[in-house]
């Protein structure tokens, strides 16, 4: 068996059996040592007593006729126990010769240790492990009867050696044998105890520890082996019950963990769904708001108000591509009137890059040196924070750019980029629809050949001017303009030349009118001008100035026409002088126009009452070829 202390059995063995064995051995050794000391002391005492006894006995008188000290010899021979215990008993002379001995053959011989025994000194006794040696002097007053001068000198010495009693040696040997027996028995007991502990304690504990180790590694299905009903068996049963409970708890934990995972997944789905619902709600609001109007200005105002409010964006602006191809600021949040109308070249700054590349441009930190291209085209106030520019693209055509800015660096999340891109797509669709609507309205209100309002727009505007004049009591005049000999021009030069002539006449007329005046194509080669708050006399002057400007315009030279130049005839009518209603006012201007034609064309005629009833007679004021002075209501 190994000497290690890595098991409980070995620990118990070495902590119980070994101390017991050592205690037994120490006890036996102690008793063996005490027995040796007691035997030696007893032998010493016995030798001293025997020496005293022999010394006293030698002093007894000897009966007559017997050898000296015959009594001592008889006494020693009669007491066999005393004789056996005496290893050596001699009476020595002062010179070391043996005078008397229990062995008669040694008498008169010199003692082998005569030199040591005759050395001067007091009597002594010496003991060792197996015998005691005593040297005692003789020669006191008791010896005077036989030895003269004994009182003054030593007559002899008693030399006695007493061997250790056999019983003492046997006891010592028995104790030594007992010590060996205890050692052997202790060794056998240790082996037996160790074997017993190994089978009944160490192995069961090792199996239980192995089961616990597997359980510690996560194998909760392992079970400890249970044999019998001792404490270890009960411990194993309790461990098995604990494992069963842990297994149940582990199963419950797994179920709970799975339920938690499902719950977390559902919560994440719920949160994601709520975010998507919020995004969809925003997109719905944006779609509903932008689709509720087709007026571009109103549409841009609604987008500017809705997006920053719902997305918590402090700075927002909308840019549209204008007719020159530049990005023009149309709307801002908060409102910055000084920024509206500001333009950027495509490719200039973040907004220009977004329009040029037709993709999102995100600048997390405007102050970052790597974002220098973005700072070149920043709007005023956008010199810090994060800037996001999303182009509005419709059918691969850039309509404009939505600009978002937050003062915090890197403050736009990827989810926001997707949402804002979707908002930009919806805004692009709405802006495109508004542009198409504006273009359609323009087409319905504008003459496609000349670019001036058509007859429909003309009467709508005339209706407003008439209503204003009737309300405030101000005059409103209209001029009916007709190109002279226009059919002859078409027949001689072709309809393309006729169309070009119409556009040039419109350009000359438009260049010499106020912004508040209205020029419209009435039909064919006829045009009508609505002059707001202009009297009849001033309207005549304006008409005459326009007639002369057309006649003198170098671009209107026409070799096929009479006089080699384009000329016009103009009729003038004013409300409320000539008429009180819109329709009759137009009829009056038309009648005046025909009067100009009857007067020889290239003339201006003001309406006069009854002119429409006598188309062959000129009753109104007509001044053909008579230039008039400049009017304050016409442009030079």
E strands, 343-396, are 343-344, 361-363, 386-394
pLDDT in tens, 219-233: 777 788 887 777 778
Q: In the predicted model, is pLDDT for residue 294 greater than 50? A: yes
Residue 617 confidence class, pLDDT cut points 50, 70, 90: very low
Q: Residue range 514-530: average pLDDT?
A: 90
Question: Average per-residue pLDDT in the chain?
Answer: 78
Residue 124 confidence class, pLDDT cut points 50, 70, 90: low
Q: Does 611 map to a domain?
A: no
Q: Does 628 map to a domain?
A: no
Q: Are residues 107 and 97 in the same domain?
A: yes
| Percent of the chain whose predicted confidence (pLDDT) is above 90 | 15
Phi-psi sector, 191: left (phi>0), alpha (psi -120 to 50), beta: alpha
Residue 586 confidence class, pLDDT cut points 50, 70, 90: very high
Order the strands of the 131-138 sheet from edge to edge. 98-101, 86-92, 156-163, 131-138, 124-127
How far apart CA 201 and CA 82 sit, in angstroms, is 62
How far apart CA 146 and CA 482 sit, in angstroms, is 207
Count how many Cα atoms sit within 13 Å of the Cα of residue 322 in the half-sphere of its side chain. Answer: 13
Q: Is the dihedral of CA 87, 90, 96, 98 positive or negative?
A: negative
Q: Are residues 34 and 56 in the same domain?
A: yes
Q: Are residues 391 and 455 in the same domain?
A: no
Residue 234 confidence class, pLDDT cut points 50, 70, 90: confident
Order the strands of the 327-333 sheet from edge to edge. 343-344, 327-333, 315-321, 397-406, 386-394, 361-363
How far apart CA 623 and CA 203 sit, in angstroms, is 140
Q: Are residues 149 and 78 in the same domain?
A: yes
For residue 576, cis peptide bond before it (omega within 30 degrees of 0): yes
Q: Does 535 map to a domain?
A: yes
pLDDT in tens, 205-223: 888 888 888 888 877 777 8
Q: Are residues 413 and 502 in the same domain?
A: no
Number of domains present in the structure of the chain: 3
Least confident segment among 50-64, 247-261, 431-445, 611-625: 611-625
Q: Are residues 104 and 134 in the same domain?
A: yes
Distances from the Cα of 34 to the Cα of 38, 39, 108, 261, angstroms: 6, 8, 42, 83
Residue 593 confidence class, pLDDT cut points 50, 70, 90: very high
Q: Are residues 380 and 367 in the same domain?
A: yes
Strand, helix or coil at 361?
Answer: strand
Q: Which of 351, 352, 378, 380 is nearest to 366 (CA)?
A: 378
**Looking up tokens 């063996």, which residue turns up?**
32
Distances from the Cα of 130 to the Cα of 39, 90, 253, 537, angstroms: 9, 19, 84, 177
pLDDT in tens, 469-493: 999 999 999 999 999 988 888 888 8
Q: Does 252 map to a domain?
A: no
Could you list the residue range(s) of the whole structural domain that residue 148 is in? 8-170
The confidence score (pLDDT) of residue 154 equals 56
How far apart CA 598 and CA 604 sit, in angstroms, is 11
pLDDT in tens, 102-111: 777 667 777 7
pLDDT in tens, 9-62: 566 666 666 777 677 778 777 777 777 777 777 777 777 777 777 777 776 666
Q: Are residues 75 and 143 in the same domain?
A: yes
Q: Does 620 map to a domain?
A: no
Phi-psi sector, 96: left (phi>0), alpha (psi -120 to 50), beta: left
Task: Tell me which long-range contacts 192-195 makes (C-beta under 8 A, separation of at least 24).
Answer: 193/13, 193/16, 193/17, 194/1, 194/9, 194/10, 194/13, 194/17
Q: Does 622 map to a domain?
A: no
Q: Which of 520, 515, 517 is nearest to 502 (CA)?
A: 520
Q: In the predicted model, is pLDDT for residue 547 greater than 90? A: yes
How far apart CA 624 and CA 540 sit, in angstroms, is 12
Which stretch, 23-37, 78-92, 305-319, 577-591, has highest mean pLDDT? 577-591
β-pairing, 343-344 vs 518-523, is unpaired
Residue positions annotated with a catalytic role: 525
CATH of the domain at 25: 3.30.450.20
* Last residue of one domain, picked from the residues 444, 467, 496: 444
Asked if 343 and 315 touch (Cβ cutoff 8 Å), the reply is no
Q: Residue range 95-106: average pLDDT?
A: 72
Q: Are residues 376 and 416 in the same domain?
A: yes
Cβ-based neighbour number of residue 422 at 10 Å? 17
* Last residue of one domain, picked from the residues 444, 469, 492: 444
Asked if 628 and 544 touch (Cβ cutoff 8 Å), the reply is yes
* Last residue of one domain, picked from the residues 140, 170, 200: 170
Residue 237 confidence class, pLDDT cut points 50, 70, 90: confident
Model-level pTM?
0.46
> What's the chain's Rg over C-alpha atoms?
74
Q: Does 88 map to a domain?
A: yes
Q: Are residues 39 and 84 in the same domain?
A: yes
Q: Does 153 map to a domain?
A: yes
How far apart CA 279 and CA 389 sit, in angstroms, is 19
C-alpha angle 350/355/360, rounded to 5°? 65
Beta pairing partners, 97: 110
CATH of the domain at 320: 3.30.450.40
CATH of the domain at 548: 3.30.70.270
Tokens of 408: 């915090």
Q: Are residues 13 and 158 in the same domain?
A: yes
Q: Are residues 418 and 478 in the same domain?
A: no
């Amino acid at each position: 068996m190994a000497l290690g202390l890595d098991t409980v059995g070995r620990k118990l063995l070495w902590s119980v059996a070994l101390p017991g064995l050592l205690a037994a051995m120490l006890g036996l050794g102690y008793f063996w040592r005490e027995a040796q000391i007691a035997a030696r002391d007893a032998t010493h005492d016995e030798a001293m007593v025997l020496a005293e006894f022999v010394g006293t006995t030698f002093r007894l008188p000897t009966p007559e006729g017997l050898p000296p000290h015959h009594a001592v010899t008889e006494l020693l021979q009669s007491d066999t126990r005393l004789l056996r215990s005496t290893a050596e008993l001699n009476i020595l002379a002062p010179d070391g010769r043996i005078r008397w001995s229990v062995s008669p053959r040694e008498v008169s011989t010199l003692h082998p240790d005569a030199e040591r025994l005759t050395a001067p000194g007091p009597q002594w006794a010496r003991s060792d492990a197996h015998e005691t040696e005593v040297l005692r002097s003789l020669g006191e007053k008791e010896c005077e009867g036989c030895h003269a001068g004994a009182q003054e000198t030593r007559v002899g010495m008693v030399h006695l050696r007493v061997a250790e009693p056999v019983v003492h040696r046997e006891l010592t040997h028995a104790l030594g044998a007992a010590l060996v027996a205890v050692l052997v028995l202790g060794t056998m007991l240790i082996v037996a105890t160790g074997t017993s502990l190994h089978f009944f304690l160490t192995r069961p504990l090792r199996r239980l520890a192995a089961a616990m180790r597997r359980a510690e590694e996560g194998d909760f299905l392992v079970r400890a082996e249970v044999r019998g009903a001792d404490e270890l068996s009960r411990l194993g049963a309790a461990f098995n019950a604990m494992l069963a409970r842990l297994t149940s708890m582990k199963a419950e934990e797994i179920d709970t963990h799975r339920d938690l995972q499902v719950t977390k997944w559902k919560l994440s789905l719920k949160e994601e769904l709520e975010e998507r619902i919020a995004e969809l709600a925003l997109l719905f609001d944006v779609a509903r708001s932008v689709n509720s109007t087709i007026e571009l200005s109103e549409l841009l105002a609604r987008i500017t108000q809705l997006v920053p409010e719902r997305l918590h964006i402090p700075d927002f602006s909308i840019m549209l591509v204008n007719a020159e191809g530049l990005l023009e600021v149309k709307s801002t949040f908060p409102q910055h009137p000084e920024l509206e109308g500001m333009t950027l070249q495509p490719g200039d700054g973040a907004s220009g890059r977004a329009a040029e590349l037709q993709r999102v441009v995100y600048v997390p930190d405007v102050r970052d040196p790597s974002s220098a291209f973005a700072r070149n085209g920043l709007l005023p106030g956008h010199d810090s924070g994060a800037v996001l520019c999303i182009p509005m693209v419709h059918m691969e055509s850039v309509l404009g750019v939505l600009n978002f800015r937050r003062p915090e660096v890197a403050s736009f999340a990827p989810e926001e980029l997707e949402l804002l891109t979707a908002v930009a797509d919806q805004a692009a669709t709405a802006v495109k629809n508004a542009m198409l609507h504006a273009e359609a309205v323009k087409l319905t209100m504008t003459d496609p050949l000349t670019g001036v309002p058509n007859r429909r727009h003309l009467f709508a505007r005339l209706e407003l001017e008439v209503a204003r004049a009737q309300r405030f009591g101000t005059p409103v005049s209209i001029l009916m303009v007709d190109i002279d000999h226009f059919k002859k021009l078409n027949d001689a030069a072709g309809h393309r030349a006729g169309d070009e002539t119409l556009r040039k006449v419109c350009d000359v007329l438009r260049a010499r009118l106020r912004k508040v005046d209205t020029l419209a194509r009435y039909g064919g080669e006829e045009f009508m001008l609505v002059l707001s708050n202009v009297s009849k006399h001033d309207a005549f002057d304006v008409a005459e100035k326009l007639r002369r400007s057309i006649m003198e315009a170098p671009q209107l030279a026409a070799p096929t026409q009479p006089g080699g130049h384009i000329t016009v005839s103009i009729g003038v009518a004013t409300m409320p002088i000539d008429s009180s209603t819109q329709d009759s006012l137009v009829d009056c201007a038309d009648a005046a126009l025909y009067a100009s034609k009857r007067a020889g064309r290239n003339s201006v005629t003001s309406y006069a009452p009854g002119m429409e009833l006598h188309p062959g007679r000129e009753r109104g004021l007509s001044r053909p070829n008579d230039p008039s002075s400049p009017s304050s209501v016409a442009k030079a």
